[in-house]
Amino acid sequence: MISKIRLQKFLSERGIDSRRNCAEIIKKGLITVNGVITTEPGFHVDPDDDSICFQGKHVSKTKEKKRTIALYKPRGYICSTSDKDGKTVYELIKDIPERLLPVGRLDKDSEGLLLMSNDGDLINRLTHPRYEHEKTYEVTVSGTVDNKIIDLLQSRLLIDGYRIQPAKVKFLRQIPDSNRTLLEFRLKEGRNRQIRKMCELANLNIHRLIRKKTGNVSLTGLKPGKWREINVH
């Protein structure tokens, strides 16, 4: 008996992306099955006999070993497979044979905890808004930081036409011999450059932004550019 599975599931199990994102990849016409472009995520394929390609490259018939790591992304690195815009995080994990994808992203000027995985279901669980996994950041800013500004940062600010969910923002300390302040941001959503845009609305200038924690995984013990294997449940 031939055991067929949905194309979307097949791609996710091979570490292409989360199951949700694999559906979009298929709809965009980036997948061929036996040389024919297939745009239906629910199309059934035979992993043993069908030739499946993503952007012209064959997708392995065998499932990759599931692997998830915690990486300290240094400032100046981008979360991309293309190096046209600078150094990528993939330069830091060259010794890992599996094809890992960033779980969420950090922009080039930010640093800190970046989870990377080839477990499509896990990626979906950690990135989909409905699961509300909290992320913690430490942000060094200059500008006036008083109770009024803290209240503003914790409000449902309008960013790019979207009313964000309230964040938790806490004053940590004043940095000695400077006009800079260390703040903690805790978010359950992570829109593109959200903290930077929040601070811009509050007239605060960001000097350093570090992601310290995602869910129950923290940056503790990691140095910039280093990674460790983790189990996320």
Rounded CA separation 195/140 (Å): 11
The count of other CB atoms within 10 Å of the CB of residue 110 is 23
Amino acid at 211: R
Active site residues: 107
SS (H, E, C) the chain: CCCCEEHHHHHHHCCCCCHHHHHHHHHCCCEEECCEECCCCCCEECCCCCCEEECCEECCCCCCCCCEEEEEECCCCECCCCCCCCCEHHHHCCCCCCCCEEECCCCCCCEEEEEEECCHHHHHHHHCHHHCCCEEEEEEEECCCCHHHHHHHCCCCEECCEECCCCEEEEEEECCCCCEEEEEEEECCCCCCHHHHHHHHCCCEEEEEEEEEECCEECCCCCCCCEEECCCC
Specify whether the CB–CB gap between 66 and 119 falls below 8 A: yes
**Maximum distance among all Cα pairs of the chain, rounded to whole angstroms:** 73
